[in-house]
Structure 1
């Protein structure tokens, strides 16, 4: 699994951090999401998929 964030789409809602805080974080200056793990381990897959679904801007893409 590879995770990609489109920073241009991100609206800084923080849903991804709530769903998978060890995979996503937010920049202090504007709240835009940043990846902590581009290739999270398999045991985090469900949380990462949930984060992508919860993203109001659909800024998270998952490549399997």
Structure 2
């Protein structure tokens, strides 16, 4: 599934440059993740880099509105990068 940045975000600017899919942008108040571009870093890394660099626990979570299997995330990666 795609990830979601919650209201706990402090706009520290750590996640956006780490996203290999360019799925993270600054929204009106906090950073946001474009679910159509988020692959949870499948195809790039073993774990989502945005979560690993975020200094606030539980700020970037699975998006319950965008549930996708690992295979679907892989297919999204292939479309985005090939």
TM-score with structure 2 setting the length: 0.54
Which fold has the larger relative contact order, with Cα–Cα distance below 8 Å and residues 6 or more apart in sequence?
Answer: 1
Q: Larger Cα Rg: Structure 1 or Structure 2?
A: 2
Cα displacement string for residues 12-54 of structure 1 (whole angstroms, at most 9, x for unaligned residues): 0111101106111112x54x1111225623325x287111111
Count of aligned positions? 60
User: Which ranges in structure 1 are unaligned for 5 or more consecutive residues?
Assistant: none
